[in-house]
Structure 1
């Protein structure tokens, strides 16, 4: 029982840095985020270079970054933040559907890649999912990424010297479903296990493969020819 004079614990909100060169959009996003009790904007930047500088100064939990900006673009800034401040998570929020930007950002270790046509509720859910160590990607972009890997022979054929996967049979099974585009909840329902168990398996597999996120793991599955036949 809680002592009478003991105050209830208040969750610490996720501290967010916004990096976008459009003041009106940036202010609108900040207003929306600050309406959520568990999310708060602690700083804003107008380009990638300023974003890197403010990331060092403010050490936020999460950086929400545009792609196309002056001085330094978001992909380059995200890479620098991930290299210099690995504890900070970075998510791209952009109008750009350019495949090169998507692939570069994923290779740079970003934790999500979203288009700006999201509804506010979707944005909140995506930001929270990043802090649960998930990797949100707009469905159209996720499909494009995995389709590119599947259709490019050099990407999908395993190397003759490719090592056996270090993951367990169950972890491999779950990563195959990740590569098929299923969410944690869908994977849990399909395999009759809890969503928490799915998350634990993915976390363990990422550690074994020395990868940052589930998109990189899905790319690994496709490149090594370990995926399931495509489902329809």
Structure 2
């Protein structure tokens, strides 16, 4: 984890701060990350856990907005813990922060409901921004991993599978989904389609509800698999 060049040291947390749970079995990394995140005035680390099982318990008591979690931990790893965390704190968004650049881990994390996937060599600024992005209902994957996920999309779209028809999306929802697939955030989509950002959020929420999925990335994976859209 790269340290920031400078930091604000006022120690004050905004009333509307994003509540974050940090989960990692390496105590030194976990404590260091907590200390750095707590410098951010709009982020409040409300707890730390050393395993997925411990994280689930803290989600019951602390109701975090975002869970920042390692993939590979003893007792219960991050991917295994995703479903239990979603049950314990349905509103919580999960970001995987890991040394693993294995596309299998990324794919499993997305299928399990993770909204973000960052490598541990990300800067603290990148981690802080990822927390803000997923807390706002969006998804974020580090660029190097996004390329691997895109390759997985391509393989899925080339596969000759007999799939049952999925829920029907409107033309506007498909339009929004295509732009999500190309990495645009809500603000950029709103600008391109000449609609409000709130309207974009509503479309994304409707897409997830129709497809019964947890995240924007998972929605794109589903859409490519079902041939609802093509990615070049």
Same structural fold, with TM-score higher than 0.5 when normalized by the shorter chain: yes
- Residues 1:50 and 2:50 are matched in the alignment: no
> How far apart, CA to CA, are the structure 2 residues paired with 1:144 and 1:42?
33
Task: Work out the CA distance in 1 between the residues paired with 2:72 and 2:230.
Answer: 36
Residues 163-204 of structure 1 show CA distances to partners (whole Å, capped at 9, x for unaligned) of 4x4221111011012123333343334334444432232122
- Corresponding residue number in structure 2 for 1:107: 111
Correspondent of 1:177 among 179, 187, 212 = 179
User: What's the counterpart of residue 118 of structure 1?
Assistant: 122
CA deviation after TM superposition for structure 1 residue 32, in Å: 1.3
Q: Distance in 2 between matches of 1:49 and 1:152?
A: 32
Conserved 8 A contact 1:179-1:221: no
CA deviations 1:110-160 (Å, max 9, x no partner) are: 221111222222211110111111111112222212321212457x55645
- Which shifted more, 118-127 or 51-60? 51-60
Shift of 1:96: 0.8
Partner of 2:69: 65
The equivalent residue for 1:221 is 223
Q: Which residue of 2 aligns with 1:142?
A: 146
Q: How many residues align?
A: 219
In the TM superposition, residue 19 of structure 1 has moved relative to its aligned partner by: 0.7
Alignment partner of 1:162 out of 165, 178, 183: 165
Greater Rg by CA:
1
SS at 2:141's partner residue? coil
60 and 36 in structure 1: CA distance in 2 versus 1, 3 angstrom threshold: same
Determine helix, strand or coil for the equivalent of 1:86.
coil
CA contact (8 A) 2:157 2:224 kept: no
Identify if the C-alpha distance between structure 1 residues 72 and 192 changes in structure 2 by more than 3 Å, giving closer, same or farther. Answer: same
Select 1:28's aligned residue among 26, 32, 39.
Answer: 32
Task: State TM-score, norm by structure 2.
Answer: 0.84
Report deviation, 1:209.
Answer: 2.1
Q: Are 2:157 and 2:227, in contact at CA under 8 Å, matched by a contact in 1?
A: no
Structure number with the bigger relative contact order (C-alpha 8 A, sep ≥ 6) is 2
Unmatched tracts of structure 1, length 5 or more = 1-9
SS in 2 for 1:226: coil
Q: Which position in structure 1 is the counterpart of 2:3? A: none
* Cα distance in structure 1, aligned partners of 2:156 and 2:188: 27
Shift of 1:92: 0.8
SS of 1:82's partner is helix
CA distance in 1, matches of 2:157, 2:200: 30
